[in-house]
């Protein structure tokens, strides 16, 4: 019986993870759950999965449910609570499903304990890839990617040597605006940007999909996960979202992993690797799908994707600046305080104005994140 700690249990990845665990209930149990403020759903999850510890980041939300936590379950609060739970809870697998920079610190603590990290929080590798990968080696931890694209590449590389990889091909749906002209971005609404054609995801990642920043962050993440330079990582638009990514080898052969756009499959793979376990998920019906199409992304239209490639090539804290500026810009767009078209403009300004440290340590990265957020909020 393996114990799973779920960081971000009420988000889309966290909910899907618990669905997978419920389906595999004789093999896994839930050791701990963390949420930001969705305590109503958390209480339901506590009743179903009986964790030993739960963390609520929002202090006011935590106070409202403190008397409702059953005996035998410890309630921790805030950022300190996240760290304490990651350090002290007994678990085998750490599911990093929290969105954003906030997921970095507890993930680092799980790595230091030599745990398996089922990584859905792409920001962890985007902002601190070099530090994270070094810690993984030093502590004999392992990272199994949960993003469908990186899970696909991981699966395609099983039994292969990285030296014979010619390039990685990350597929992208193109989001809700793939067929829109760039001029449409000036008037695009929040509801339109959240209307993803293929995936059901949280609001932040859905907006990232609409700008294609999500794919840009995945390019940076792929660099650190698989140790390949930017010139060996390619992005193609694949509207059907059936091929989740591909690997091309030096002999011209291409391996691809296919499946329905359902996050439960890569989540289960990360939990059960190296085994494959039978489940009752829907199966892919290729004749019903009919055809699979691909085309190159327009980097003039999707500026965020280009900015991500540029940040990766620049190195240092540039990816941290990129991520922090994007998180602030997306949150402001969701609050309807800026236009959709302003998101890449704000990120570009931050990359231009915030100092880039080419040899950052962890303290430098946290300071860079703070400074970037302050700068973007100021210019807004």
Can you give the CATH number for the domain in which 87 is found? 3.40.50.720
Asked if residue 274 and residue 159 are part of one domain, the reply reads: yes
- Domain assignment of residue 15, yes or no: yes
Find the helix or strand (DSSP H, E) in which 94 lies. strand 93-96
Axis crossing angle, helix 123-138 with helix 213-226, rounded to the nearest 10: 10
CA 330/CA 146 separation, integer angstroms? 23
CA 245/CA 352 separation, integer angstroms? 32
The structure tokens listed for 224 are: 């650190």
- pLDDT score recorded for residue 351: 98
Interval 48-96: pLDDT, tens: 999 999 999 999 999 889 889 999 999 999 999 999 999 999 999 999 9
CA 174/CA 278 separation, integer angstroms? 31
Q: Beta-carbon neighbour count of residue 132 at 10 Å?
A: 23
Asked if residue 283 and residue 215 are part of one domain, the reply reads: yes
Asked if residue 164 and residue 25 are part of one domain, the reply reads: no
- Domain assignment of residue 80, yes or no: yes
Strand partners, 35: 56
Asked if residue 294 and residue 155 are part of one domain, the reply reads: yes
Q: Beta-carbon neighbour count of residue 244 at 10 Å?
A: 25
Asked if residue 92 and residue 63 are part of one domain, the reply reads: yes
Q: Are 20 and 268 in contact (CB under 8 A)?
A: yes
Find the helix or strand (DSSP H, E) in which 70 lies. none
Please give the sequence-ordered ranges of beta strands (E in DSSP) within 238-350, or none if there are none: 243-249, 254-258
Interval 269-318: pLDDT, tens: 999 999 999 999 999 999 999 999 999 999 999 999 999 999 999 999 99
Asked if residue 96 and residue 6 are part of one domain, the reply reads: yes
Could you give the 3-state DSSP secondary structure of residue 321? Answer: helix
The confidence band for 266, taking pLDDT boundaries of 50, 70 and 90, is: very high
Give the rounded percent of residues in the chain with a pLDDT score beyond 90.
92
- Domain assignment of residue 128, yes or no: yes
Q: What is the mean pLDDT of the segment spanning 185-199?
A: 90
- Tokens 């990845």 appear where? 13
Range of the structural domain that residue 228 is part of: 150-314
Asked if residue 302 and residue 172 are part of one domain, the reply reads: yes
- The rounded radius of gyration (Å) of the Cα atoms in the chain is 20
- pLDDT score recorded for residue 81: 95
- pLDDT score recorded for residue 200: 72
Give the global pTM: 0.94
Asked if residue 189 and residue 137 are part of one domain, the reply reads: no
Asked if residue 155 and residue 141 are part of one domain, the reply reads: no
Q: How many residues does the chain have?
A: 380
- Domain assignment of residue 52, yes or no: yes
Last residue of a domain, one of 284, 314, 344: 314
How many domains, in total, are found in the chain? 2
- Domain assignment of residue 221, yes or no: yes
Asked if residue 159 and residue 297 are part of one domain, the reply reads: yes
Across 321-330, b (16+ Cβ under 10 Å) vs e yields: bbbbbbbbbb
Asked if residue 62 and residue 125 are part of one domain, the reply reads: yes
Asked if residue 156 and residue 127 are part of one domain, the reply reads: no
Last residue of a domain, one of 145, 175, 200: 145
Interval 98-118: pLDDT, tens: 888 888 999 999 999 999 999
Axis crossing angle, helix 342-353 with helix 303-314, rounded to the nearest 10: 20
- pLDDT score recorded for residue 202: 80
Give the rounded percent of residues in the chain with a pLDDT score beyond 70.
100
Last residue of a domain, one of 266, 283, 314: 314
- Domain assignment of residue 230, yes or no: yes
């Amino acid at each position: 019986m393996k114990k799973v700690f779920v960081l971000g249990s009420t988000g889309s990845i966290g909910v899907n993870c618990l669905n997978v665990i419920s389906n595999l209930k004789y093999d896994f149990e839930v050791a701990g759950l963390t949420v930001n403020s969705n305590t109503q759903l958390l209480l339901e999850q506590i009743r179903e999965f009986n964790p030993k510890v739960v963390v609520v980041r929002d202090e006011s939300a935590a106070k409202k449910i403190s008397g409702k936590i059953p005996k035998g379950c410890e309630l921790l609060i805030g950022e300190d609570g996240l760290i304490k739970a990651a350090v002290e809870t007994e678990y085998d697998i750490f599911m990093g499903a929290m969105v954003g920079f906030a997921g970095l610190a507890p993930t680092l603590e799980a790595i230091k304990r030599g745990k398996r990290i089922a990584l859905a929080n792409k920001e962890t590798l985007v902002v601190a890839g070099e530090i994270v990968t070094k810690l993984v080696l030093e502590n004999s931890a392992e990272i199994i990617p949960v993003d469908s694209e990186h899970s696909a590449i991981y699966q395609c590389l099983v039994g292969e040597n990285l030296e014979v990889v010619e390039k990685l091909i990350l597929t992208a749906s193109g989001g809700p605006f793939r067929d829109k002209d760039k001029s449409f971005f000036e008037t695009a609404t929040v509801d339109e940007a959240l209307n993803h054609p293929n995936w059901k995801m949280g609001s932040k990642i859905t907006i990232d999909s609409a700008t294609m920043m999500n794919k840009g962050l995945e390019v940076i993440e792929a660099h650190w996960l698989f140790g390949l330079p930017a010139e060996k990582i390619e992005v193609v638009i694949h509207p059907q979202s059936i091929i989740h990514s591909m690997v091309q080898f030096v002999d011209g052969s291409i391996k691809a992993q296919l499946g329905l756009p359902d996050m439960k499959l890569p989540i289960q793979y990360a939990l059960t690797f190296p085994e494959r376990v039978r489940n009752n998920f829907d199966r892919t019906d290729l004749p019903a799908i009919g055809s699979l199409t691909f085309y190159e992304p327009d980097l003039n239209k999707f500026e965020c994707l280009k900015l991500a490639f540029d940040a990766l090539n620049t190195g240092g804290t540039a990816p941290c600046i990129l991520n922090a500026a994007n998180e602030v810009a997306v949150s402001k767009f969701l609050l309807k305080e800026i236009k959709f078209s302003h998101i890449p403009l704000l990120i570009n300004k931050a990359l231009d104005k915030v100092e880039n440290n080419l040899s950052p340590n962890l303290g430098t990265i946290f300071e860079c994140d703070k400074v970037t957020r302050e700068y973007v909020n100021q210019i807004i």
